Amino acid sequence: MTDKTILIIGTYDTKNDELDFIAGKIRSLGGGTMTLDVSVLGDPEHATDISKHEVAEAGGGSIADAIASGSEHIAMNLMSQGACALARQLCETGKIDGVIILGGTMGTDLALDVCQGLPIGFPKYVVSTVSFSALIPSERLSPDIQMILWAGGLYGLNAICRSSLAQAAGAVLGAARAAEPAASDRPVIGITSLGTSCLKYIKFLKPELEQRGYEVAVFHAMGMGGMAFEQIAGQKGFVCVFDFAGSELGNLLAGSVVNAGKDRHRAAGRAGIPQIVAPGCMDLIDFAGWQDIPERFRDRPLHTHNKLVTNTIYNTEERREIARELNRRIAETTTPTHLIIPNGGIEEWDKPGGDCHDPEGLEAFVKELRASVADHVEVTETEAHINDNEFSALALAIFDRWVSEGIVPTAERS
């Protein structure tokens, strides 16, 4: 008897030995395996549980179609679509408990698609020759993906790559054994924030919401955190959201790598989740600490947060555009949406004496935010700073009203 079953995906025509090694390691540890072949041209040494023909059919075509295309890219996209559909189906029906995928750039491209199609909390492991490479943009990464470099293993097994493959096999099986369903017996509130040196409302809101019987999930809005927030919102994993940290949107518009993808601030509205929104940190652009500051930002004040993150501020016209874009995105919903505008400031460093203090820029931003908001979005302005307790109390009052009106379901008090 085996306790957990791991789906193993790869091109069995060229990587049969490596994939068999992974399967053998998982089975030696007491796990079960299911194999899925995404080869196109060749055939595996032994039959796999799911053949390449089944994969291509699930992708809406055939192996003959893939070969006739004459393009590796087109062929692998077909296999990717099929692998995604089959992995998702196997996950939803409880036939697998985790997935491990091995490949070079082609296999990694497919692996990223498969992992994004699986829910958060489902173990997903990628063994790749380009793990952690700059080739992989953040928007291709599923929030809880695990990766290991397939070191020295591009062509055949050896002592070096066996070490990586063995670790990966043990890691995905261990994750499957330890995983807990991402489900709660209490309604879940999703909140975006940054560290409390910059945004402090979570200190007020989290205990208040928990006292009301809700579970609170706080997402670090530095790219991957925002992606996870959007993915769970899109799956209707929250009963309400407090989306108060918006620098990922400005980063996206400015071309920063510290972004959460093109659909930031959209998933909750599309999923019909009530949302309370505020423009926390939307005056800041975040740069990775390792990258050079682009020329157009070098004459602006810089705030070195740590060795990973350096911030600067937007000019007045850039702030106006960010305000308009936020309003465009939250206007896409027909679900209750309430925008809070804190006229006193939107992050700790914009206070007088702070590195990012710019009262004229803040005034222009607030004015544009006020002017461009859609008619069906409720708006409340406050003279408080976003880090003042008055702001948090206002947000909580809106939430409590929504609960009393039945917009947000009630929860049992703890």
Q: Calculate mean pLDDT across residues 224-245.
A: 93
What's the pLDDT band for 396 if we cut at 50, 70, 90? very high
Q: 205: buried, middle or exposed (CB in 10 Å: 19+, 13-18, 0-12)?
A: buried
Structure-token pair, residue 72: 């590796």
Task: Give the gyration radius of the chain's Cα atoms.
Answer: 24
pLDDT at 414 over 50: no
Any idea which fold 5-178 has? Rossmann fold (3.40.50)
What's the pLDDT band for 184 if we cut at 50, 70, 90? low
pLDDT tens digit sequence for 93-116: 999 999 999 999 999 999 999 999
Cα 161 to its chain centre, rounded Å, is: 29
8 Å CB contact between 148 and 164: yes
8 Å CB contact between 281 and 312: no
Delimit the CATH 3.40.50.12020 region(s) of the chain: 5-178
Q: 400 to each of 5, 366, 410, how far by Cα in Å? A: 44, 26, 10
What is the 3-class SS of 395-414, one letter each residue? HHHHHHHHHHCCCCCCCCCC
pLDDT tens digit sequence for 35-54: 999 999 999 989 999 999 99
CA 359, CA 354: separation in Å to the nearest integer? Answer: 11
Question: Rounded to 5 degrees, what are φ and ψ at 11?
Answer: -90, 100
pTM of the model: 0.84
Q: Calculate mean pLDDT across residues 327-342.
A: 95
CATH 2.60.120.460 corresponds to the domain 188-404:
no
Cβ contacts of residue 179 below 8 Å, gap of 6+? 97, 98, 121, 122, 123
Delimit the CATH 3.40.50.12030 region(s) of the chain: 188-404
3-state SS class at 327: helix
CA 362, CA 320: separation in Å to the nearest integer? Answer: 10
User: What is the pairing mode between strands 378-382 and 337-342?
Assistant: parallel
Beta bridge mates, 275: 241, 337
